[in-house]
Amino acid sequence: MATSQVETVSTGADKAKLALAIGLVIGALAGFYLLGKQGQIAQWGALLVGLGAAVVVFVTSEPGKELLAFARDSWREVKKVVWPTRKEAIQMTAYVVAFCAVMAIFLWLTDKTLEWIFYDLLLGWKK
C-alpha cells in the first residue's frame, strides 16, 4: 500500500504576510469601533480599507494564491454541472415527499401495532 505524503512549504515571508493580514483585520475592526464618534463614513471607511488591505496582503501570500487557484478550479467544475430541468426537479421533489409520507405512515402503524401488542396483549395495560 502506497502512502502519499503531503508537503506544505511555508516560508517566513508567507507567515509574515498571514500575520500582517490578521493584524489588518483586527486593526480594521478596532478602527471601526474606535471611530464611532467620527461618524459612520469614517467607521465604514476604516473597516473597508482595513479589510481590503488584508485581502490584498493575503492574496499575495502562497496560501492566498492556492485559495484563488482552488476557487477558479471549483468554479470551472460548477460550470460543468448539468442542472435538472424544472420538470425533473419538481418530479424528484414529489418522489421524495411521497416516500417520506409513506415511511411516516409505515412507522406510525408499526409503532401503534407494537404498542398494542406489548401493552394491551402481553402486559394487559388497558388505557
Structure confidence at residue 62 (pLDDT): 92
Residue 101 has pLDDT above 90, yes or no: yes
Residue 7 has pLDDT above 70, yes or no: no
6 vs 122, higher pLDDT: 122
Where is average pLDDT lowest: 34-38, 47-51, 52-56, 97-101?
A: 34-38
Structure confidence at residue 121 (pLDDT): 82
Could you tell me the three cell numbers for 83? 442542472
Structure confidence at residue 3 (pLDDT): 58
Tell me, what DSSP letter sits at residue 35? T
Structure confidence at residue 91 (pLDDT): 97
Residue 6 has pLDDT above 60, yes or no: no
For residue range 52-89, what is the model confidence (pLDDT) as tens digits? 999 999 999 999 999 999 999 999 999 999 999 999 99
Could you tell me the three cell numbers for 110? 408499526
Asked whether 18 and 61 are in contact (CB, 8 A), the reply is yes
